[in-house]
Amino acid sequence: MQGHQEYIQKKVNPVLESMVTQVLLDRPEDLVPFMIKWLSEQAGMPRGSPQSSEYEELQEQVQYWEQRVAELQDKVSKLQKPAGEEEDDEEEEEDDGEDEEEDLPPPPASYASRGPRASVSAEAYGTWNQMARTFEPPVYPKNAEQMSRILNVLEGSFLFAALDSSELQVVAKAMQDKTVEPDSMIIKQGDDGDVLYVIEEGSLECYKLIEGTEKMVKVVGPGDAFGELALLYSCPRAASVKAVEKCILWELDRETFNHIVKDASAKKRDRYESFLLSVPLLEGMEPYERSKVADALRSETYEPGQTIVNQGDPGDKFFIMEEGEAIATKSFVAGQMPQEVMQYKAGDYFGELALLHNEPRAANVVAKTSVRILNLDRRSFKRLLGPLEDILRRNTKRYT
């Protein structure tokens, strides 16, 4: 089971998240062909040059759905005709309607043999389901202490890392408090979900039905969010969640999440992925690996003269310069004035020594101009940049 979970986390989830993000950004009318094309491009498979029987089956399915979509669009256009035209065509439509079902092409054999299809999909919008142009998030009254507590929880949760301070304020105001007693079932696997939860106090256990037996898969606590998958992918609840003790939760509705959190995350990923392409250290990463790094990055700004890290302090972050310039200074003897030893510009990185060797910071880093820096915490550094550890270790010679 652990092997399956690791495979899903390392291999499946990054691809699905990247694809869903691209779907949300492009919002294609024909979803299935778009996703097949995207997956083909990620695999380096040229379109129109079948490489396998599986690819041929997918192409067959694409042709079927393209024809089906064209027929449905034709139906819609007829329904939208002015009344005068409708009367003229009424007799013709009645004749056509008798053979309508018979004229539809059968689904491809490969598709029909697959049985019910479990899908993961993003919120779909089109001519029939327009996203509201203006959105007013709900506001639930809270005192200053409650707002402060919520903001502390949100700032510590990776799910809201893409939000700036004003967006965090909007989300905090839109959240409702929920007190849960021990042994209460908050979420049941398979149910529809329209809210996510952020934990302020207490712990909860997550259970999944595996081979007919309900098994606990993880425990979540303060700062963690759960229930977001149902909102991210518009799918049923993936697990059941039960309170271990009395808990204080904050719940956020689907519409606020879609308009603020998901939108900000997509914009953040797009911006950071473009920047990460210019970082030499990461040029060998696969696109989905870069997207995972982009999701985990957090942004910090410093004014000229501000210290980013201090020599001798514990190190728990890895930094990449996004904008501006900074200098590294070092005292080689206790009490000695720090001397400048390095300069950093956009695309450079620092802070890896403390994480690789579990040692204190080896130097000070001070902003020379106004700078914007992206950072990864220790856990994300190990998880996402683990494959680059040999490169990072080889590059440490630049400090000697």
Domain termination site, one of 206, 241, 260: 260
130 falls within a domain: no
Residues 327/344, Cβ–Cβ less than 8 Å: yes
Q: If you count them, how many residues does the chain have? A: 400
Domain termination site, one of 203, 236, 260: 260
39's enclosing H/E stretch is helix 31-42
Say whether both 94 and 162 belong to one domain. Answer: no
pLDDT tens for 180-231 read 999 999 999 999 888 989 898 999 999 998 888 889 998 999 888 888 877 7
Computed on alpha carbons and rounded to an integer, the radius of gyration of the chain in Å comes to 26
Say whether both 238 and 322 belong to one domain. Answer: no
Sequence-ordered list of residues with C-beta below 8 angstroms from that of 48, at least 6 positions apart, any chain: none
Report the range of poorest mean pLDDT among 17-31, 241-255, 263-277, 385-399: 385-399
229 falls within a domain: yes
Say whether both 108 and 175 belong to one domain. Answer: no
Q: Rounded to an integer, what distance in angstroms lies between the CA atom of residue 379 and that of residue 317?
A: 9
CA atoms within 13 A on the CB side of 294: 27
Domain termination site, one of 112, 132, 161: 112
Q: What is the chain's mean pLDDT, rounded?
A: 77
DSSP for 116-164, please give it: S-----PPP-BTTBPPPSS---------HHHHHHHHHHHHT-GGGTT--
Structure-model confidence comparison of residues 226 and 98, the more confident one: 226
Residue type, 151: L
Whole-structure pTM value: 0.44
Q: Rounded to an integer, what distance in angstroms lies between the CA atom of residue 378 and that of residue 390?
A: 17
Q: Rounded to an integer, what distance in angstroms lies between the CA atom of residue 78 and that of residue 74?
A: 6
255 falls within a domain: yes
Q: Is the pLDDT of residue 71 over 80?
A: no
Q: Rounded to an integer, what distance in angstroms lies between the CA atom of residue 233 and that of residue 123?
A: 7
Across 379-391, average pLDDT: 77
Say whether both 245 and 339 belong to one domain. Answer: no
C-alpha dist (Å) from residue 191 to 16, 186, 234, 287? 21, 11, 11, 33
pLDDT tens for 267-290 read 777 888 888 888 888 877 788 778
φ/ψ (deg, to 5) at 346:
-55, 130
| Total of domains in the chain | 3
Say whether both 247 and 311 belong to one domain. Answer: no
Q: Provide the domain limits for residue 225.
A: 144-260
Say whether both 182 and 99 belong to one domain. Answer: no
The DSSP bridge pattern shows strands 307-309 and 298-302 to be unpaired
The DSSP bridge pattern shows strands 364-367 and 326-330 to be antiparallel
The domain that holds 315 is classified in CATH as 2.60.120.10
Residues 361/369, Cβ–Cβ less than 8 Å: no
| pLDDT band of 117, cuts 50, 70, 90 | very low
Say whether both 149 and 254 belong to one domain. Answer: yes
The confidence score (pLDDT) of residue 150 equals 86
23 falls within a domain: no
- Residue with token string 């995972």: 292
Say whether both 248 and 301 belong to one domain. Answer: no
123 falls within a domain: no
